[in-house]
Structure 1
Amino acid sequence: MATENTDPKEVARRYVEVVWNEGNVGAMDDILTERQVYHDPTDDGAEPLSEFKEFIRGYHRAFPNLDFTVDRYIAEGDLVAFWGRATGTHEGSFMGIEPTGNRIDIMGINVVRIEDGKVAERWANFDIFGMLSQLGHDLLPA
C-alpha cells in the first residue's frame, strides 16, 4: 500500500526518519517497493526488500543511536536528492569490526526514485573512509 502523501520530498523525508533514524523495519513495506534497485560505490543491483531490512537491522545493532540529519531535500520529477550528516556510537559489530565505543560523524549524499508513493531505487555515497578511520581502522598508510 502506498503512503498517503506521495509528494516525492515527503516520501524521502519519511524514508530517512522511519527507516534510517527509527530503524522501523516493520514500516518499511509501506515506504519502499518490494524489489529495490540499489546503486552505491560498493554494490549495484536489485535486491529484495528483505535484504535491505536486514541491512538496516545491522546498522542499528552496530549504531543503536544512529541519527541522519538532512541539510536539504531537492526534488525533480520522481527523483529526490538529499545530503546530510550521520552520527552514532559504535556499540555492535560492523563490517567485521568489533564495537569500539567510538562516535562516528560522516557526511553522505543520497538520491531516491519514487514510484507510486514508495522508494523504488536508491543511490548512496558516504564517507566510508572517514567512518572507518573514526572506528580506528584507517585504510590509508601512515
Structure 2
Amino acid sequence: MQSDEQDLKEIARRYVEAAWNEADVDTMEDVLTEQQVYHDPTGSGEEPLSEFKSFILGYHETFPDLHFEVDRYIQEDDYVAFWGQVTGTHEGPFMGIEPTGETIDIMGINVVRVKDGKVAERWANFDLFGILQQIGHDPLGRAEP
C-alpha cells in the first residue's frame, strides 16, 4: 500500500507543479484526464481539459509568478488532499480589476481523485476574498480607513 500511496501523492505533486506552478499545458495532458469533474464553492460539473488549461493560463497571465507551496499531502484510497500558500503578483486584469502590482499570499485547499494514474476529479477552495483584499478591492464595499 505504501508504494500506491506514494504514487498517488506524486501524481498530486505533478499536478500542482504542471498546472499551478508552471502552467505547463503539455505536461497537464500527462497528469489530468481529458475530462474531469470539478468542484468549488460555487458548484460542480464536468470540465474538459482544454477549459482547465485556459483557466490556468488565465491565472498565470494575471499572476505571472503564481506559486502554490504545498504544506502537506494526505492520501486515502484514491484521493489526495493538500493545502498550502498561494503567492503571486497582480500584473493582469482579475475579475474586472486592472493590474495593481500588489502581491497576494493566500491559503488554498485541494482534493484530487486519481483514476488510472491521472487526476480525474478536483475539489478546490482558495481564499478569493483574501485575493481581492490584497489587490486593494474590498468585496464588502467598505471605504478605506
After TM superposition, is the score higher than 0.5?
Answer: yes
Tell me, yes or no, if the aligned pair for 1:58 and 1:94 is still in contact at 8 Å. Answer: no
Structure 1: which amino acid aligns with 2:65? N
Structure 2 Cα separation of the partners of residues 94 and 43 of structure 1: 20
Where does structure 1 lack aligned partners over 5 or more consecutive residues? 1-5
Q: What one-letter code is carried by the residue in structure 2 that aligns with 1:112?
A: V
Residue 123 (structure 1) aligns with: 123
Higher relative contact order (CA 8 A, sep 6+): 1
In the TM superposition, residue 59 of structure 1 has moved relative to its aligned partner by 0.4
Deviations 1:85-119 (A, max 9, x none): 00000011122211110000000110000000000
1:34-73 matches, cutoff 5 A? 34-73=34-73
1:111 and 2:131 are equivalent in the alignment: no
Runs of 4+ with >3 A deviation: none
Name the SS for the 2:64 alignment partner. Answer: coil
In structure 1, the partner of 2:16 is: 16
Contact in 2 for aligned 1:62/1:91 (Cα 8 Å): yes
- Supply the distance in 1 between the matched residues of 2:46 and 2:95 (Cα, whole angstroms): 21
Match of 1:86 in 2: 86
Q: Aligned AA for 1:20? A: W
Please give the alpha-carbon distance, in whole angstroms, between the structure 2 residues aligned to 1:140 and 1:113: 34
Structure 2 alignment gaps of length 5 or more? 1-5
In the aligned structure 2, how far is the partner of 1:39 from the partner of 1:141? 28
CA contact under 8 A between 1:86 and 1:105: conserved in structure 2? yes
CA shift, 1:33, in A, is 0.2
TM-score (normalizing by structure 2) = 0.91
Q: Distance in 2 between matches of 1:11 and 1:139?
A: 35
1:66-86 Cα distance to aligned partner (Å, 9 max, x none): 010000000001000000000
Counterpart-to-counterpart distance in 1, 2:18 and 2:54 = 15
Q: For structure 1, which segment, 39-48 or 72-81, has the greater mean C-alpha deviation from structure 2 after superposition?
A: 39-48
Deviation of the 1:141 alpha carbon: 4.4
Once the two structures are TM-superposed, the CA of residue 140 in structure 1 deviates from its matched residue by: 2.0
